[in-house]
């Protein structure tokens, strides 16, 4: 296929392959731009069901216009070859990113999740269920952008009744194989029941969990064990990092409710929850903004705190010295009055400065332990 020309597209290099086609980088010789070409394999060209699904993918993509969904340029054929021309998005898949770096920082993971949710929300609003949401179908552009790919087994909820029946009959398997990716399939998909947009919400919860932990929520060594875990077990939520906001922990749990009646009802609600979580600064940022002057490093802040403690100690010592002097003055004044014949009856007046002095001394001793406690915090 490399070097071959399909219509006005020159095939340059392979990009990947999936159950519904092979993807290549190609050059649009008319518009002088690189595009992605998804080719239906020759073995499937005579398969009416595969061909119908391939064409349906093109039509579903054409009905969507969203920044987080790869755009389609056309559905074309060259001889016996059927292909889709799409927007070429440079970057790595989310699956490659997790395999390379493990768990993703909470803020970055939430931003990726927000964009995935926005793409799914646009699809759901158009009556389209993706049905294969997984890290391998999420492309990170390298500029902070996200694209949701591969609507090859997507389902439209607005098709005619007879088409819906045909779709339902083939929704679980084609040629005896599962339609979807087992670790991200909702329980109702595994049981062969009718799946709606809540199946995408389940898969979304699996993706968010995997980003935050670096591990699949239900991945096991075999497909059978994986499917059994989805039906029977819950993810280990204790593996979520401690800096994951409580609202996001609850969101993941709601997305992964096994009974779809208890599951989050709309992916738009997830987008709102994530947006609100992103608007809240991390706990360590709140600490820095509260306790550290803006723009100062740790050494400068430490110096300011030491200076503040020094001044506080001087203030405490001043109270003590002032109290001693005042008390001594009161005692001396009272003694003077007592031994002065015509003023002896007024000697109790000396108790006033004596009491003031004692209060100052006591105040100084009370402040001292509080100051030392504050300097340790």
Catalytic residues: 132
| CA–CA distance, 76 with 84 (Å, rounded to integer) | 6
User: Token pair for residue 101?
Assistant: 């770096």
CA within 13 Å, CB half, 57: 28
| CA–CA distance, 323 with 156 (Å, rounded to integer) | 85
Instruction: Write down the residue that tokens 């300011």 correspond to.
Output: 304
Residue 81: phi and psi, rounded to 5, are -95, 125
The answer to whether the CB of 209 falls within 8 A of the CB of 252 is: yes
User: Token pair for residue 376?
Assistant: 């340790």
Burial class from Cβ neighbours inside 10 Å (0-12, 13-18, 19+) for residue 215 reads middle
In order of 4, 127, 244, the CA distances from 278 in angstroms are: 47, 28, 11
């Amino acid at each position: 296929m490399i070097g071959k020309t399909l219509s006005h597209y020159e095939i340059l290099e392979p990009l990947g392959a999936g159950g519904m086609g092979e993807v290549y980088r190609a050059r649009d010789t008319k518009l002088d731009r690189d595009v992605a070409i998804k080719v239906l394999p020759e073995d499937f060209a005579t398969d009416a069901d595969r061909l119908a699904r391939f064409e349906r993918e093109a039509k579903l993509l054409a009905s969507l216009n969203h920044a987080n969904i790869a755009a389609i340029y056309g559905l074309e054929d060259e001889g016996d070859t059927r292909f889709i021309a799409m927007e070429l998005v440079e970057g790595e898949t989310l699956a490659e990113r997790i395999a390379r770096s493990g768990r993703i920082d909470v803020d970055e993971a939430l931003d990726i999740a927000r964009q995935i949710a926005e793409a799914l929300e646009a699809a759901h609003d158009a009556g389209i269920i993706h049905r294969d949401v997984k890290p391998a179908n999420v492309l990170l552009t390298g500029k902070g952008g996200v694209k949701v790919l591969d609507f090859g087994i997507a389902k439209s909820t607005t098709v005619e009744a007879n088409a819906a029946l045909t779709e339902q009959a083939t929704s679980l398997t084609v040629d005896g194989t599962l339609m979807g990716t087992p670790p991200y399939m909702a329980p109702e998909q595994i049981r062969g029941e009718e799946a709606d947009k809540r199946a995408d919400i389940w898969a979304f919860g699996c993706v968010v969990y995997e980003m935050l932990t670096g591990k699949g929520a239900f991945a096991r060594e075999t497909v059978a064990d994986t499917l059994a875990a989805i039906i029977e077990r819950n993810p280990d939520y204790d593996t979520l990092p401690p800096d994951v906001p409580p609202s996001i922990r609850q969101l993941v749990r709601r997305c992964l409710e096994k009974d779809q009646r208890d599951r989050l009802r709309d992916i738009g609600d997830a987008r709102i929850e994530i947006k609100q979580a992103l608007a809240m600064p991390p706990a360590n940022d709140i600490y820095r903004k509260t306790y550290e002057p803006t723009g100062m490093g740790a050494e400068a802040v430490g110096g300011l705190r030491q200076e503040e403690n020094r001044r506080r100690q001087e203030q405490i010592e001043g109270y003590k010295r002032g109290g001693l002097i005042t008390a001594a003055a009161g005692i001396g004044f009272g003694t003077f009055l007592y031994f002065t014949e015509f003023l002896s009856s007024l000697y109790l007046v000396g108790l006033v400065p004596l009491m003031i002095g004692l209060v100052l001394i006591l105040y100084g001793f009370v402040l001292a332990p509080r100051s030392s406690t504050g300097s340790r915090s």
